[in-house]
Structure 1
């Protein structure tokens, strides 16, 4: 199989170096690559030295060097109009007699489209940039995402973080940039290099890479440790010369001319890495991947990096004792300086982390793994007709269905976890309110039912109950496997392929109506309507359940309810907790004066069966303070009745919610939950839980580690549990370790294996 690999630049950037390593790791008996560059330069020379065939099809520099702000349409129009470039590219590809066209840069992605179409060749995009508005102009993001869903035969992303910015892209696959064997040190460090400590940074000089942040952090470090020296390895590229001047000016302004050295471009960074006490990655926006991080780790150098993007896939911070590096918030020179000083002041711990990192990245990020993924994608592409119309039978591999995306709750967090497990999957749902649910859904491709046009139903999905069977039946999902996240509706989606149901609970309004309605049970109009409809809804619900190929339950109690309602024996897969304590926190102004002493905490939708009113009454007259986080129909009543030691807050961002958990002393969980994520979210912060001895809490709370039970959801029982827990000591580290049993990594691995099981012959 002959593959034409196209790149618009011949400079040696991160994507280009990754390309060189991938080509070297290919099996030559299977693939013959030919690299087509749109200019001459160092990459051409390096590929020639490695024995690869390279062809240059010159592109007008005015087009090749146009900035990202120009937009994709401008790039293509300029190239078509510019001195016959398209004709030359078509003739070159025809003469090379290739089977697949593979592009490795955004400009090459766009410029290859007309050529591949004219030749009838399958096109594979290899995306090395996050297609997000913090990285690219908004119009480029919109256009590129739309094209990725329709134009290439397949898309390869360099990380899950990049893949998540390409919702609905065709046949989306992740292939991490790999390390060649010579990039991995043969043994780990036992001692730091002799002489004054050296802090280094490897990467081209660019505003997004954060050299200015490191320079400002250097001033803070040197104020504490005057012996430390800094080396910035890399040159300005892609028009960043003004930024280099700004960096040099900041060095002079801060009086660091004798401390910070800009070395310029370094062809082989390994000798430089040998000199470093710590390697810093300081990008100010989330990196698509972060190759310099894997390279430093593979060489055994302690790493301090900024959170976000692909770096979160490289650096492990959990569980305690298994971390492989230090992560800090981006664009925070104070936090960066503190982390660097931690490495310098605790060299033994830093070297232990570096040893774990060395073993970890050497195993996970190998060039031959990435080459094998590319080969598989190319073979599949070569065997398929290029540019298939949407009406043809090549279905997406996985799709996701969910009841409705109108609120922020545990079930919606599970859908986000499913989407991170299958980032190319489209999400199908009856109602979607972007402002009412988690903002991350804006980055997904969401398909809605006809009733989504009725705006009041998006604000109050319970009013849509009689219409939901109709709405679900209109969500015909065309995929090899649909993963249905269901609390009573999504398991009924019509599917052309196999159906895997992840059940949060059989419909509460049918099988637990009294608990669901609360005070409205028996006499309200809602109760009357449900009574009239329940027979028909039960028949629909059981037919929907029988349409599934496989059922998973989120807890033992839900497994029992599924067996009772449907006669189905489901396996249990606990959902992951959805909040990472390592992510940034933002203080909640309304709680600032309670933060130091701590408080009891309830995180819940304000619905009757959640028993939040019980928790509020339980603390009346006690010295403890209670924070309630949530919204719902009971909010006005609870605010009116709450005593002075209770505060209710709504609309928190995830950063604010993390802060709220971090300052809590104990979580209260008085509701009868099918699973209940909040005790695990609290446990991730080392916070124990007092919970009702029932439901999903039986699976997640170990009374010897992370909590205690009370026997009934009454004011007296909750009050007694709070008083009893005053004198108990808790081991926060043990609580956090307990939470790791329910990590998203484990959830993703299991759900992916379940999908593969359904796809197996």
Structure 2
């Protein structure tokens, strides 16, 4: 059981407070929270109504109500002295509560929690909902918070990757997006409201929310749509009453009194209904928002969205973790009133196009921004912080500089252990999957050399010396490796997940590629190959548990290291529930090949197998062999090298069968095809023996020749495939199954550790 003292700086209901209340409702049973609130108010009533233990601590009104804009250098010093009595009261309370960790819910409570955590000797977690940047906060406050964030909290939780990027140098930084409760998500996108179009914004009336810019854009919208009306839902808070008065005066000056309605603050439960009445929901913040919760709330109702293209809003409207052919709403530059007007006009001009975007957004939000996912992530952070020592789990990976299968698995391992730090020798964010940017990454000194980050093979001669110096401090370390990370120095027990024994030692020609391995740097590495093989075997033998991705790699590990490893298949990465989109030029029946265009992938032989046949082949892939492959293509073969996830899902679902002719350690594409009920025609070798069940999910051919492939295609056409049976086969490779098995393995290792 993990006990948390959760500190709220205000008893009023702002966005951070409502989000925290939602999070508390979804926490797992092994986490209990003592809510400490400075002052009495609506938040206290809400938390108690939800059944939480709430402790009200009297606080100076000026301390609670002062805005960040009012926090001058002088006032910051005087405010610190005025906060001392509150700090003492909170400290005495938390000592009595017998908790394991102190956690904040806002920037003010984060600052207040620093002396409290020090005085109680408890680990501290900051949960920040602000961008710590000069365009959002006073410069002196930015410098203070950034300095404190580097040493005071054990973990900093940011509400978006945009917020996380404003905290450079923080060692343990985790992104937990605010989630939506089931009641906030409509079962189906709501139909377009009848009558005059309603433009709406929900949010407290504030300079940073953009109501002024929205009002200024309204005359241009009315010129195109005279019946349009603007509805502003929310009221001034935290000393922003002057802004509301200025806003109402501007509405009067523009002659919009009959067009603009101020509805005032509404209850949180009434927000979905308010949003559902909008024809378009607008987010117009002139400065980058830390997240933009109201955007997810509008999408959850199926309302078309216009938003400013900055800060956390981009992660919602133009997400990078799922490929979309275009954003899920219309984006405009912050503070650009004409562009904002044009976007609103575009939504009202073409309702059908807006509704299509809204449906895709609704589908994405209900999968990605759930309160249960957010609560589980935060609970895992609290559990890790409550250990007061090293984290329970940490992850190691060779280098995160490319988008490959090993990096995909490393991401899946990280998702199985939210908040766990990821240690690596080289990390280049632009070269690998965007999801790594939201993880607490730890890169070594070698990472300072740019050429090594951009071309990791150039660092090969140094890696045998750097790997043993890379320290992973945790009770259990999970080391994802193709030949380096199993040598990382660990403080506790370790699990090695081996994608393949080191190709640079045991498959030298394939690894370095042709004559490129004869460079001076790689020759120096190969000169020491006998010594390095002994070093590699020593590193492998250090693991407490050794896990591999397939039976083929299991046999290699047994032969090279003498280790009887267990097999844990990697998870598929394609989401079967996502949006599907047919690529241009693809119709009718076809077979599918998904592969990098490399010589050992045998794509050219598959092309020859289809030449002269009445069957169509669609190839999805890119790589150095692309030009050569394009010259080989007959009329019945199409090559697609630039498609998004929605198009790939459509191709997997629509194909008659997948063709896989390469030599793979695992062979993921047959599993991804099986997710959609599509069978595979595969080479009877290596990883495909684990991912294809002959006669049930696919057929094999015995050699990668055009004749053997063509014969297998003919045999596959004669089979009446059971799509549901194929999908059931794919379930054993789901991300959820992988995460559960990985957690069970780590838990078992932790239980067996000596006391």
Q: One fold, TM greater than 0.5?
A: yes
Indicate if the aligned counterparts of 1:176 and 1:365 stay in contact, CA closer than 8 A. no
Moved more, 722-731 or 554-563: 722-731
Whether the aligned pair in 2 keeps the contact of 1:159 and 1:289 (CA below 8 Å) is no
Q: Tell me the C-alpha RMSD between the 2 structures.
A: 6.4
Q: 1:756 to 1:2 in 2, by over 3 A?
A: closer
Q: Deviations over 1:274-330 (max 9, x none)?
A: 999999999899997979999x99xxxx99999x999x99xxxxxxxxxxxxxx945
Q: 2:41 & 2:731 partners in 1: Cα distance? A: 48
Matched, 1:629 2:631: no
2:750 is the counterpart of 1:759: yes
Using the alignment, how far apart are the partners of 2:662 and 2:132 within structure 1? 39
- Does structure 1 residue 11 correspond to structure 2 residue 12? yes
Deviates most, 469-478 or 443-452: 443-452
The DSSP-based 3-state class of the residue aligned with 1:269 is: helix
TM-score, L = length of structure 1: 0.67
Equivalent runs, 1:208-247 vs 2, <5 Å: none
Deviation of residue 574 (structure 1)? 1.4
d(CA) in 2 for partners of 1:417, 1:291:
29
Which residue in 2 is equivalent to 1:489? 484
Contact 1:148 1:170 in 2 (8 A): no
Q: How does 1:345-360 map to 2 (within 5 A)?
A: none
Distance 1:567 1:714 in 2: 34
User: Structure 2: which 5+ runs fail to align?
Assistant: 96-101, 222-229, 306-310, 317-326, 332-346
Which string of whole-angstrom CA distances, capped at 9 and with x for unpartnered residues, describes residues 618-661 of structure 1?
444556344341325x45654566667666666x5xx7244245
Conservation of the 8 A alpha-carbon contact between 2:9 and 2:37: no
Q: Does the CA-based 8 Å contact 2:676-2:727 persist in structure 1?
A: yes
Q: How do residues 5-404 of structure 1 correspond to structure 2 at under 5 angstroms? A: 6-17=7-18, 34-36=36-38, 42-43=42-43, 52-59=55-62, 63-66=66-69, 77=73, 79-81=75-77, 84-96=78-90, 97-99=92-94, 102-110=103-111, 112-113=113-114, 115-116=115-116, 119=119, 122=122, 124-127=124-127, 129=129, 148=149, 150-155=151-156, 170=172, 204=203, 264-267=264-267, 269=269, 329-330=328-329, 380=386, 394-404=389-399
d(CA) in 1 for partners of 2:248 and 2:587?
A: 45
Counterpart contact for 1:168–1:444, Cα < 8 Å: no
The 2-side partners of 1:143 and 1:706 are apart by: 59
Answer yes or no: is 1:699 the counterpart of 2:690.
Answer: yes
State how far apart, in whole Å, the 1-side matches of 2:735 and 2:681 are: 24
Shift of 1:689: 3.1
Deviates more, 1:620-629 or 1:534-543: 620-629
Q: Is 1:676 the equivalent of 2:676?
A: no
Alpha-carbon separation, structure 2, partners of 1:161 and 1:747: 29
**TM-score under structure 2 length normalisation:** 0.67
1:468 deviation in Å? 2.7
Distance 2:357 2:131 in 1: 31
Instruction: State how far apart, in whole Å, the 1-side matches of 2:149 and 2:604 are.
Output: 49
**1:536 aligned residue:** 531
CA distance 1:641–1:671, shift in 2 (3 Å): same
**Change beyond 3 A, Cα 1:511–1:232:** same
Q: Which has the higher mean CA deviation after the structures are superposed, 723-732 or 415-424?
A: 723-732
Secondary structure at the aligned position of 1:709 is classed as strand
Q: Aligned to 1:659, which of 647, 671, 680?
A: 647
3-state SS of 1:56 partner: coil
* Unmatched 5+ stretches in structure 1: 68-74, 220-229, 314-327, 344-349, 385-393
CA shift, 1:7, in A, is 3.4
> Given that residues 205 and 243 in structure 1 are in contact (C-alpha distance below 8 angstroms), is that contact kept between their aligned partners in structure 2?
no
Mapped to 2, the partners of 1:125 and 1:422 lie a distance apart of 17
Classify 1:502/1:21 alpha carbon distance in 2 versus 1 (closer, same or farther; 3 Å).
closer
Quote the Cα distance in structure 2 between the aligned partners of 1:509 and 1:640: 32
Q: Give 1:12 shift.
A: 0.9
The answer to whether the 8 A contact 2:610-2:616 is kept is: yes
Distance change >3 Å, CA 678–CA 21, structure 1 → 2: closer
Deviations 1:170-193 (A, max 9, x none): 4969799898xxx999xxx9xx9x
Aligned residues: 675
